Amino acid sequence: MTLQPFEVRPVAGRIGAELVGLDLSSPLSDDVILAIRQTLVQHKVIFFRHQHHLDSDGQIAFARRFGPITAAHPTLPPLEQRPEVLDLNYGKNHGYANYWHTDVTFIDTPVLGAVLRAVEIPPVGGDTIWANTVTAYDDLPEPLKTLVNSLWAIHSNAYDYITEATHLSDYFKQYRETFESTVFETRHPVVRVHPESGEKSLVLGGFVRRFQGLSQAESEDLLRTLQSYVTRPENTVRWQWQLGDVAFWDNRATQHYAIADYGDQPRRVQRVTIVGDLPVNAEGESSVAIKGDSAAYNGLLAVAS
């Protein structure tokens, strides 16, 4: 029996753990990768401090050990000469990630997970919060569980969280136009079964536009209620970034929120994402794409992996 190749330090009671004793820029054995994957599934988001030797190539190589890599984003441009990397270079224009979401649920195969590397961090602020959508489902009272077990939600990027702003800067207008340059719309089960753990988790977040069979007003009220279970403090972990940190989250069982509390200070992180699968509910019914084709996003780099 192989001993655990790293130390696991839980960061919060229900979600999050720091893995100590690994250099992600060095070659890692298949056994170590398997142990990391098992820890990820258990803790939902895992953190690695002091990965100063890891560059974008190493980040890509590490992420690829867990599955084929997606393009950087379905609509947003990648880092120059790195089609796998989404460069999130924040500063005063940092208001487009401070909302609760699961990554790219507007396509039919949301990513399996994401590896995020801290490139430039403000001296104060800029933390990220993750929420456990498995324990959120577990916390629901039985009448709500009965409702959501058979409920479907329509997710889309046709408009995002900044749409409700009354005054948009030119930067945000341009960002929104790019974000919506190809419209995607997908029907997901509100409750999916995790393909590795078998746990049930809520598929919600900022890309939900409405629930099938409910009016817009009813959808908004229900979404607020369900999201309140996801974002309860008991279900969350808050990570205070340091330069060289890496976070790796299971996108199938989490939501996250980047806190925009650092003024004009620079904040730059880079993300690589792993191809996901179709969410499936307990009855074996899977998500369905209504508008938009995710094949290019998922297939552009899969061959190379």
Q: What is the pLDDT of residue 168?
A: 58
pLDDT tens by residue, 211-231: 999 999 999 999 999 999 999
Q: What is the pLDDT of residue 232?
A: 98
Q: Which of 14, 101, 192, 209 is catalytic?
A: 101
pLDDT tens by residue, 13-52: 999 999 999 999 999 999 999 999 999 999 999 999 999 9
List the beta bridge partners of residue 45: 249
- Does the reported pTM lie above 0.85? yes
**CB-count exposure of residue 30 (10 Å: 0-12, 13-18, 19+):** exposed
Roughly how many angstroms between the first and final C-alpha of the chain, as a whole number? Answer: 30
Q: Which of 14, 103, 176, 252 is catalytic?
A: 103
Across the chain, which has 305 residues, the per-10-residue mean pLDDT values are 77 98 96 97 98 97 97 92 91 72 97 98 96 98 98 89 55 79 95 98 97 97 98 98 98 97 92 98 98 88 42
Q: Which of 14, 176, 256, 267 is catalytic?
A: 256
Does residue 41 contact residue 197 with C-beta atoms inside 8 Å? yes
For residue 282, the Cα-to-chain-centroid distance in whole angstroms is 22
Fold of 7-299: Double-stranded beta-helix (3.60.130)
Q: What is the pLDDT of residue 301?
A: 44
**Catalytic residue at 271?**
yes
Tokens coding 177 = 């136009």
Q: What is the pLDDT of residue 92?
A: 60
**Catalytic residue at 52?**
no
**Catalytic residue at 73?**
no
Q: What is the pLDDT of residue 1?
A: 37
Q: What is the pLDDT of residue 302?
A: 44
- Orientation angle between helical segments 216-230 and 142-149, nearest 10 degrees: 120
**Catalytic residue at 103?**
yes
* Domain residue ranges in the chain: 7-299
Q: What is the pLDDT of residue 305?
A: 39
Q: Tell me how far apart the alpha carbons of residues 70 and 275 are, in angstroms, rounded to a whole number.
A: 5
Q: Tell me how far apart the alpha carbons of residues 115 and 25 are, in angstroms, rounded to a whole number.
A: 13
Q: What is the pLDDT of residue 96?
A: 66
Query: Which value, in Å, is the radius of gyration of the alpha carbons in the chain?
Result: 18
